[in-house]
C-alpha cells in the first residue's frame, strides 16, 4: 500500500513537472505541488537507501575477500538462503562457490574456505536439515584432525618444510606490504581451535531433540575437552613454538569442561561430572556464573552414587572418606557437602550488585533455594525444607521464573504432611 501510494504520488509529480512550470504550479496548487515534491524526494531517498543496503551487504568484506566468481556464487547462495528462500538453488550456489574455490587454488584450510562450509552447516540447521548439517561438520572436523596429525608427525620426524617468504617485487614495481605468512605451528593452533569448536557444536547438534544421539554428543565433548587440556599442558611443558600464538582462554576451556559435566549429569554419572565442575569453577571469573557452577556441584553431590571409598575422583577432596564405616555415613557426607555448596551458591549469587549483577545471579538464587530444600528433605529436616521451597517459589514468581516456581511447588507438595 505504501509503495503504491508513493508510486502514484511520484507519477503525479513527474506529470506536473513535465507539463507545467514550477512557478505556475506553486501559484495555482501550492499544497499539491509541495506534496508531489515530498513524494519525489521520498522516492529518491528510498531508492538511495536500497542501493546503500545492497552494496553494504553484497559488496562487504565477507564477499570481496574472495575472488569475484566465488563472491558472486556466495551472493546468490545467501540470497536464496535468507532473502528469497529456495533450498535447492541455495545449495547449488554453495556447492558452486566451493568448486570455484578449488579452481582458484584457495587453501582448503583457510578461514575463508572453512567459513563457507560452516555457513552451509548453519544454513542446513536453520532449515532443520540436522543430519546434513552434522555430515558437513563431521567431514570438516575429520579434515582438520588429519591435517593436524600429519603436521605433528612431520614435526616429530623433522621433515616440516620451511615456509617460503613472499616473492620480491620486480624492478620498478612498488613493494606490496603483506601480513607475515602463517607457519605450520600457527596453522596447527588455528585448526586445532577450530576443530574443538566444531566438536562442541556437533555435540549440541547430536543432543538436539530432532537427533538425540547422546552417546555421540558425549564423545565429541570428551574429545574437545581432552584436546584443549592436552594442548594447554603441552605448551606449559614445552613452551611456545615459533608463531604459535595464544591458545584458548580460561573461560573457553571452562565452558568446554562445563558442557562435558552436564553431559555426564544427563547420563546420571554425577561422580564424573563433579571434578569437571570443580575445574570449571577454578577457571571462572564471573561471580554470577560461579554461583551457577556451585549449584551444579551441590546437585552432583546430592545425586552422587555410593562408590567404594577412594574410587571416585572427588574422594581425594573429602578427608572423611577415609573413615566411612557404612554406606549411610557416605551418603550423609555427600548430602552435607551438597548443603554447603547450595548455601555457597545462594551467598555468592546474592553478593553482586549493579553492573556486575546479571540474570544468572537471580537464576542461581532461585534454583539454589529449591535445591537446598531438596537436600534438607533428604536429610529429614522437613520443616526447614518447606521453608526453603516457599522462599524459592516466592522469589521465582517475583523474578518471572514460572518454570522454577512450578518445580519448587511440586517439590513442596511431595513433602510429607506435618
- Given a cut of 60, is residue 249 above it in pLDDT? yes
Which of the pair, 373 or 12, is modelled with greater confidence?
Answer: 373
Backbone phi, psi, residue 34, to 5°: -65, -40
In angstroms, rounded to a whole number, what is the distance separating the alpha carbons of residues 125 and 200?
A: 15
State pLDDT tens for residues 276-315.
999 999 999 888 999 999 999 999 999 888 877 666 666 6
Rg (CA), the chain: 31
- What DSSP string describes 5-69? HHHHHHHHHHHHHHHS-HHHHHHH-HHHHHHHHHHHHHHHHHHHHHHHHHHHHHTSHHHHTS-HH
Give the mean model confidence (pLDDT) for residues 235-262. Answer: 88
The answer to whether 379 and 360 are in contact (CB under 8 A) is no
- Given a cut of 60, is residue 239 above it in pLDDT? yes
User: Residues in the chain, how many?
Assistant: 418
- Given a cut of 80, is residue 47 above it in pLDDT? no
- Given a cut of 60, is residue 55 above it in pLDDT? no
In angstroms, rounded to a whole number, what is the distance separating the alpha carbons of residues 96 and 69?
A: 9
The H-or-E segment that residue 257 falls in is helix 250-266
State pLDDT tens for residues 324-337.
667 888 888 889 98
State pLDDT tens for residues 151-168.
999 988 888 777 666 555
Candidate CATH numbers 1.20.120, 1.25.40, 1.10.3470, 2.40.160; the one for domain 286-418: 1.25.40
- The whole-number pLDDT of residue 334 equals 86
State pLDDT tens for residues 60-78.
555 577 788 888 888 888 8
Give the mean model confidence (pLDDT) for residues 346-370. Answer: 88
pTM, 2 dp: 0.74
Helix segments in 86-213, DSSP class H = 87-103, 111-126, 130-157, 184-207
- The whole-number pLDDT of residue 418 equals 63
Any idea where the domains of the chain sit in the sequence?
1-58, 286-418
Residues contacting 135, CB < 8 A, separation 6+: none
The H-or-E segment that residue 301 falls in is helix 287-302
Q: Considering the chain, what is the average pLDDT of its residues?
A: 82
Amino acid at each position: 500500500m505504501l509503495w503504491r501510494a508513493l508510486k502514484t504520488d511520484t507519477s503525479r509529480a513527474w506529470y506536473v513537472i513535465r507539463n507545467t512550470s514550477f512557478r505556475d504550479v506553486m501559484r495555482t496548487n501550492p499544497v499539491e505541488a509541495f506534496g508531489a515534491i515530498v513524494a519525489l524526494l521520498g522516492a529518491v531517498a528510498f531508492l538511495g537507501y536500497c542501493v546503500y543496503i545492497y552494496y553494504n551487504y553484497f559488496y562487504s568484506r565477507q564477499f570481496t575477500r574472495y575472488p569475484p566468481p566465488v563472491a558472486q556464487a556466495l551472493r546468490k547462495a545467501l540470497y536464496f538462503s535468507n532473502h528469497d528462500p529456495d533450498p535447492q538453488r541455495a545449495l547449488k550456489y554453495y556447492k558452486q562457490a566451493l568448486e570455484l574455490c578449488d579452481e582458484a587454488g584457495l587453501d582448503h584450510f583457510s578461514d575463508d574456505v572453512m567459513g563457507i562450509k560452516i555457513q552451509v552447516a548453519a544454513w542446513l540447521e536453520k532449515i532443520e536439515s540436522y543430519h546434513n548439517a552434522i555430515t558437513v561438520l563431521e567431514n570438516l572436523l575429520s579434515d582438520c584432525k588429519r591435517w593436524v596429525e600429519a603436521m605433528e608427525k612431520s614435526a616429530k620426524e623433522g621433515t616440516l618444510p620451511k615456509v617460503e617468504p613472499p616473492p620480491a617485487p620486480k624492478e620498478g614495481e612498488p613493494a606490496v606490504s603483506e601480513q607475515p605468512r602463517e607457519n605450520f605451528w600457527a596453522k596447527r593452533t588455528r585448526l586445532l581451535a577450530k576443530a574443538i569448536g566444531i566438536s562442541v557444536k556437533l555435540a549440541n547438534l547430536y543432543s538436539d531433540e530432532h537427533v538425540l544421539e547422546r552417546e555421540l554428543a558425549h564423545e565429541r565433548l570428551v574429545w574437545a575437552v581432552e584436546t584443549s587440556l592436552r594442548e594447554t599442558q603441552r605448551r606449559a611443558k614445552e613452551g611456545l613454538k615459533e608463531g604459535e600464538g595464544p591458545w584458548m582462554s580460561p573461560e573457553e576451556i571452562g565452558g568446554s569442561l562445563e558442557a562435558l559435566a552436564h553431559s555426564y549429569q544427563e547420563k546420571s554419572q554425577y561422580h564424573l561430572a563433579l571434578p569437571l565442575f570443580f575445574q570449571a569453577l577454578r577457571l571462572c571469573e564471573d561471580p554470577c556464573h560461579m554461583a551457577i557452577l556451585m549449584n551444579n556441584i551441590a546437585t552432583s553431590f546430592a545425586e552422587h552414587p555410593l562408590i567404594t571409598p577412594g574410587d571416585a575422583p572427588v574422594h581425594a577432596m573429602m578427608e572423611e572418606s577415609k573413615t566411612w564405616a557404612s554406606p549411610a555415613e557416605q551418603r550423609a557426607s555427600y548430602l552435607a557437602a551438597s548443603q554447603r555448596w547450595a548455601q555457597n551458591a545462594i551467598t555468592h549469587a546474592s553478593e553482586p550488585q549493579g553492573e556486575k549483577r546479571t540474570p544468572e545471579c537471580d537464576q542461581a538464587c532461585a534454583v539454589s533455594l529449591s535445591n537446598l530444600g531438596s537436600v534438607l528433605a533428604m536429610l529429614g529436616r522437613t520443616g526447614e525444607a518447606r521453608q526453603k521451597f516457599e522462599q524459592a517459589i516466592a522469589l521465582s514468581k517475583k523474578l518471572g521464573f514460572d518454570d522454577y516456581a512450578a518445580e519448587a511447588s511440586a517439590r513442596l507438595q511431595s513433602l510429607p504432611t506435618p
